[in-house]
């Protein structure tokens, strides 16, 4: 096999190694930027409310429901605040929502109560389970926007298939959600951002695994202009401008200036400083 063929058709070992290297490079870069998080730190504590149902459009729901059959049990792995689990529960016999973050589980439990959904079981579990015995099982397993930072993506996917009777599905953007605008990032931090893997890398791994994948891309979501300050406050997390970093207030002010410079739409407005354009639903049958 030529070098070009190896790039286009990597072996499973090569695909997994490349995926892991990309995740670890991003992790090392971010740790050097803002320091390692203390043990037990809940990364999602401040952002968990934004992952509740109805806080953002859910175009992936239609393609996901096309995979369903009456009486299905869904595994929602990395369920967050219930963005998928609650609407899926309206169409399923049961949804097992697997989520390790305490703040996310609290949001999910409240969202389920508000929706009157009694067919959602919330499980405190980090995926993949250390011991497969006793792990939840379902007819369909979903991992929505959780694979980007998983260094052992092969183990994650293998556990999905092991605990699923019929179909696995992954929701992924064309670029990882935390991917910044290159120019804005350079102006803010003075270095090149190390991107996480996303849609193309996930599909490459699944193809190297020999899976019969179906990719259903969704239309791009329009980027609506908002006041510059509103955009800066909403997306500061993506650019790692958060309370606790050195010179936080000065960094936030600088970020506002850069949002206006790179994303200004006139009249004091700016568009979101995003690189990702569209999401896709990737699905494949579980074959034993």
- The mean pLDDT of the chain is 92
**pLDDT given at position 34:** 78
Confidence check: pLDDT of 16 > 60: yes
Chain centroid to Cα 119, Å, comes to: 24
CA–CA dist 248, 241 (Å, integer) = 7
Predicted pLDDT at 185:
98
Averaged over 173-192, what is the pLDDT? 96
- Phi, psi of 123, deg, nearest 5: -120, 125
- pLDDT tens for 216-253 read 999 998 899 999 999 999 999 999 998 878 889 999 99
Q: pTM here?
A: 0.92
- Is residue 286 within 8 A of residue 166, CB to CB? The reply is yes
* Spatial distance between the Cα atoms of 113 and 261, rounded to a whole number of angstroms: 43
């Amino acid at each position: 096999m030529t070098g070009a063929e190896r790039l286009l058709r990597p072996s499973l070992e090569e695909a997994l190694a490349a995926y892991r290297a990309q995740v670890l490079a991003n992790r090392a870069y971010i740790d050097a930027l803002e320091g390692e998080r203390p043990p037990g730190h809940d990364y999602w504590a401040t952002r968990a409310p934004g992952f509740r149902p109805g806080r953002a459009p859910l175009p992936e729901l239609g393609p996901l429901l096309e995979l369903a059959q009456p009486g299905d049990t869904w595994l929602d792995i990395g369920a967050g605040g219930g963005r998928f689990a609650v609407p899926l529960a309206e169409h399923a016999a049961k949804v097992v929502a697997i989520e390790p973050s305490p703040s996310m589980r609290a949001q999910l439990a409240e969202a389920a109560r508000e929706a009157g959904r009694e067919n959602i079981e919330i499980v405190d579990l980090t995926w993949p389970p250390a011991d497969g015995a006793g792990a939840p099982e379902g007819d369909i397993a979903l991992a929505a926007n959780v694979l980007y930072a998983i260094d052992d993506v092969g183990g994650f996917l293998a556990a999905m298939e092991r605990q699923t009777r019929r179909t696995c599905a992954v929701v992924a953007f064309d670029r990882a959600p935390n991917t910044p605008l290159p120019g804005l990032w350079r102006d803010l931090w003075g270095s090149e951002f190390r991107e996480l893997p996303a849609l193309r890398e996930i599909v490459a791994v699944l193809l190297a695994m020999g899976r019969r994948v179906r990719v259903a891309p969704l239309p791009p979501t329009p980027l609506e202009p908002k006041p510059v300050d509103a955009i800066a406050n909403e997306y500061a997390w993506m650019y790692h401008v958060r309370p606790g970093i050195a010179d936080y207030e000065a960094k936030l002010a600088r970020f506002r200036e850069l949002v206006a410079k790179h994303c200004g739409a006139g009249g004091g407005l700016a568009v979101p400083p995003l690189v990702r354009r569209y999401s896709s639903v990737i699905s494949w049958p579980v074959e034993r």
